[in-house]
Amino acid sequence: MDGLEGWPEQVKTMQRNWIGKSVGTELTFPLKDREDGLTVYTTRPDTLMGVSFMAVAAEHPLAQAAAERHKDVEAFAEECRNNKVAEADMATMEKKGVDTGFKAIHPLTQEEIPVWVANFVLTDYGTGALMAVPGHDERDHEFAVKYRLPVKQVIAASDGREIDVQEEAFPGKGVLVSSGKYSGLTSDEAFEAIADYLEENGIGKRTVNYRLRDWGVSRQRYWGAPIPMMTMEDGTQRPVPDDQLPVRLPEDVEMDGVQSPLKADPEWAKTSFEGQPATLETDTFDTFMESSWYYARFCSPNYDKGMLDPAAANYWLPVDQYIGGIEHAILHLLYARFFHKLLRDVGLVDSPEPFKQLLTQGMVLADTYYREDGKGGKVWIAPADVTVERDDKGHVIGAIHKEDGQPVVAGGVTKMSKSKNNGIDPQSIIDAHGADTVRLFMMFAAPPEQSLEWSDSAVDGAHRFLKRLWRLVNEQVAGGAAPALDVSALNDSQKDLRRKTHETIAKVSDDISRRLTFNTAIAAVMELLNSVSKLNDDEPQTRAARQEALESAVVMLAPIVPHICHTLWAALGHKDPVVDAPWPVVDEIAMVRSQIQVVLQVNGKVRAKVDVPADISKADLEALALKNENIVRFTEGTTVRKVIVVPGKLVNVVAN
């Protein structure tokens, strides 16, 4: 995880939590009257002296052994197996359990501890068993109170405040109490001391555990790459030989919606191996399987000697910039990382990671509308079928169905989805305003990593901007060919426009290539066009500076609104299409200001703003400030105690 420097912290956190690395100890509690023991994993060995019961999953061997002796354990275990719940629901569901009758022996105190089957213990996490510390774990506390099991306090708060673990668990770290020779140690100190004791006495060991689940890659369906495995008549499974690869899906299939077409076509599955009949696997790979390495295949799409050409892959990879939805943060993006490391381990690529930088784009949001049906359910109505009344701030204050004129309920703004029927068909907007308007609105409405709220009025605003761009270019073209730019002949206003042009080129280049903030890039071009509009005389060098500004604006907007820019580029006198035009180059000299604006203050309050030569000295700037009529007016009758000059920014006169 530490190598993902160009990835959003949010995605790294999600993957880190999904992997779920934890450092703890694995230790074994001997079982009374049995030769085996109960092995558990804990991240809190400092609470070991507070264990009051053990808990195992319904599928644990000890639970199965108890079920053979006790009907109530058997019935409870069966209930747990038939009522599986998601791990996310464990915290809120009712905690239930049954005493197995077995006793575990505490490895430090030799105390006998009851072993229970509990519905909140997962078979596939850790060892399927846990040591319960009700005084310092909320889940264990709830269970212990329900079944009247002991609750012991073995951790006290570091700040000395009173804690009553009989009322509620104290899950935090602190200082050990009632823990024999470990009392007085901090939780971190006790972790190390107890872990050392367990290892020295062969009772346990330090262990790193992960929550990451195995990736189930098979699907019982037609689409997806065939899994290249086959089953022999004796039940043994073998990979499909290289000379029979690739396994291809049949094309003459019937989709009946009942079963996989591959299972329904036994003839397709028939094959042989070394003269013996065999059956091809009828499951296909999860589509994540292929999408986890397609980027590497793109480097050599015509290569036919293997998965990919290592030379080409190592030339192009890792991918410089990956853009994908946040919904893939812990599935596709994680699988792709594992797949890439596999490709590296078998010598097909050299790089350790598939993607250098990641941008997770936001979702598109839209208003929702509905009516309730006779059963209390909601029938969602498309925004296009609703007439909406809004207040001055754009909030919905009323809505009616266009078809019957009757009111509908505004359900708020949410992600566009089929289920809420609030998708906006871009074709209707394209028909009204053109594709460039839709593209400009979506790029300008929000930073790409944030959600975008669809707004018809904002779409209209994007259209007005493009009409303005069209007008400015065509007004320029109507005046005839612009003369060549003569930098030495520019007056101050012409220099200002040229400086604005190159400041915009610098900002847009950085916004698009490094920051990926297309909205601020568009805003910068809008500001440039404002400057173009203000300088509207017909001086030859004004027309030359305006030509440079408009050409730069068209090239910078071309990736966002390509259609209008293609036409305007030709109108500006260019024979080659704008897609082939070089990106504008920043002229650093053009951005050097001959004059700058300086703020003048009296006792920290702004009293004037003046334009001064960019190279004015501190002494001259101070003298100019003291002569300024506003400064004189606000210091009249006072004594000037100090004059603070910050070159290029401000002068503050301290007077009383």
Q: Is a pLDDT exceeding 90 seen at residue 50? A: yes
In the structure encoding, which two tokens stand for residue 569, read together? 């580029």
Rounded to 10°, the helix 456-478/562-571 angle is 10
Task: Tell me the pLDDT tens digit for each residue of 152-199.
Answer: 999 999 999 999 999 999 999 999 999 999 999 999 999 999 999 999
Q: Please say whether the beta carbons of 280 and 230 come within 8 A.
A: yes
In the structure encoding, which two tokens stand for residue 145, read together? 């109170």
Count of positions (residues) in the chain: 656
In the predicted model, what is the mean pLDDT of the chain?
92
Report pLDDT for 85: 65
Q: Is a pLDDT exceeding 80 seen at residue 594? A: no
Confidence of residue 208 (pLDDT cuts 50, 70, 90): very high
pLDDT cut 90: percent of the chain above it: 70
Q: Is a pLDDT exceeding 70 seen at residue 553? A: yes
Average pLDDT over residues 585-596: 88
Task: Tell me the pLDDT tens digit for each residue of 356-368.
Answer: 999 888 888 888 9
Taken in order 321, 323, 326, 328, the sign of the CA dihedral is negative
Rounded to 5°, the CA angle 535-538-539 comes to 90
Mapped to the 3 state alphabet, what secondary structure does 407-466 carry? ECEEEEEEECCCCCCCCCCHHHHHHHHCHHHHHHHHHHCCCCCCCEECCHHHHHHHHHHH
Average pLDDT over residues 321-334: 86
For the ranges 133-142, 258-267, 504-513, which has the lowest average pLDDT? Answer: 258-267
Q: Is a pLDDT exceeding 90 seen at residue 449? A: no
Confidence of residue 556 (pLDDT cuts 50, 70, 90): very high
Query: How does DSSP assign 347-389, residue by residue?
Result: TS---S-SEEEEEEE--EEEEEEEEE-TTS-EEEE-GGGEEEE
Rounded to 10°, the helix 456-478/518-534 angle is 40
Report pLDDT for 576: 96
Report pLDDT for 423: 86
Report pLDDT for 529: 97
Beta bridge partners of 129: 56
Report pLDDT for 88: 59
Report pLDDT for 318: 96
> 426 versus 476: which is more confidently predicted?
476
pLDDT cut 70: percent of the chain above it: 99
Strands (E), 160-275: 175-176, 204-209, 218-219, 229-232, 237-239, 270-273
CA distance 428 to 425: 6
Q: Is a pLDDT exceeding 90 seen at residue 374? A: no
From the list 34, 84, 93, 95, the residue with the least C-alpha distance to 59 is 84
Report pLDDT for 301: 94
Q: Is a pLDDT exceeding 70 seen at residue 89? A: no
Q: Please say whether the beta carbons of 552 and 565 come within 8 A.
A: no
Consecutive H or E run containing 189: helix 187-200
Q: Is a pLDDT exceeding 70 seen at residue 86? A: no
Greatest alpha-carbon pair distance for the chain in Å reads 112
Report pLDDT for 321: 92
> 376 versus 229: which is more confidently predicted?
229
Beta bridge partners of 650: 599, 646
Report pLDDT for 518: 93
CA distance 387 to 400: 5
Confidence of residue 336 (pLDDT cuts 50, 70, 90): very high
595 secondary structure, DSSP code: E
